[in-house]
Amino acid sequence: MPFKSLDELRAACLDLPAGSDTAAAAVARRQNTLTKPQGSLGRLETIAAWLARWQGRDMPKLDRVKVFVFAGNHGVTAQGVSAFPSEVTVQMVANFAGGGAAINQLARIAGAELDVIPLDLDHPTGDFTQQPAMDEKAFLAAVSAGYGAVTGDIDLVCFGEMGIGNTTPAAALSTALFGGRAEKWTGRGTGVDDAGLKRKVTAIEAGLKRHADALADPLKVAAALGGRELAAIFGATLAARHNNVPVLLDGFVCTAAAAPLARLHPAGLAHTIAAHVSAESGHRRLLEALGLPPLLDLGMRLGEGSGACLAVNIVRSALECHARMASFAEAGVSEK
């Protein structure tokens, strides 16, 4: 297990590479020679520079793109916070294996490898209204599982999740990390009715009260209020930074899972781009709090890494324009 204590994990979160200014500057110089008005491709130009910075290459590449979907089950579902029963998590993992989910189709179209990692699905986390979701050992094991999944031979990575009830811990984490009332961060998730939404808010308030002593520490918050798949996404996001792999963040749950890194280090999520803003009400607020403008706004709220995987096609487009467009000199086009 890479991390044997919270102190080890905290030290790893504070020791983050800054990325390559040289590679990003080389991309910017090339962009200014291509047959277009400067800046006319908008964020496609900055995406190319972002890839270069975090890959450390003057000419980025996307030969190997991976999508990791982490799956976990949650004890807080006992509070009636989801419209679906918890056994759906296992059933959907089987659906991923059979190729029948949305993420299977989106990964294929994006030219991305898909790896689904279930995390002790037969043993849900603790109901955080009654006890910590995870003790330190369980939390570190889940973080380490995510950390170990991401290796330096990946050019771009997307993270997804599957876990019935997991918008509740995501909203609880967001409330604990960024403040405000629980209602501000809590949405309908899988489609709960008004009574279900009220139960979610009540559960989050109870969890925040029970674990008040942990709220000053982002790692203790992630253990007390989170879930195994959220902890794994946190670990995988950290590993991506240490391995110089740029990250496309998916929806509300993935963003909340990664958010403790931003609270521990002011540039903790600099290697990430928000792929989309989901229809889950807290996601837009969370992206604003993190200073992460989304690439897409399509009203999606599926999870699975679906929005992140869809955005891979935009990143590929950015790289194709950067790498294959002719310069003014090559094309014989007059500059202004």
Which residues are marked as active site? 304
* Distance from C-alpha of 99 to C-alpha of 102, rounded to nearest angstrom: 9
Give kind and range of the element (H or E) at residue 311.
Answer: helix 306-324
Amino acid letter, residue 55: Q
Strand, coil or helix: 250: coil
The string of DSSP letters for 162-219 reads E-TTTHHHHHHHHHHHH-S-HHHH---TTT--HHHHHHHHHHHHHHHHHTGGGTT-HH
Rounded to 5 degrees, φ, ψ at 247 are -125, 135
* CB burial string 122-142: b at 16+ within 10 A, e below: eebbbbbbeebbbeeebbbbb
**CB-based contact 3:219 (threshold 8 Å):** no
**Position of tokens 């990946």?**
154
Give kind and range of the element (H or E) at residue 118.
Answer: strand 112-118
* Distance from C-alpha of 253 to C-alpha of 245, rounded to nearest angstrom: 20
Q: Name which of 233, 261, 254, 288 is nearest 167 in CA terms.
A: 254
Residue partners of 45: CB distance under 8 A and separation at least 6 = 28, 31, 39, 318, 322
* Distance from C-alpha of 222 to C-alpha of 177, rounded to nearest angstrom: 9
* Distance from C-alpha of 208 to C-alpha of 199, rounded to nearest angstrom: 14
**Position of tokens 């096609």?**
313
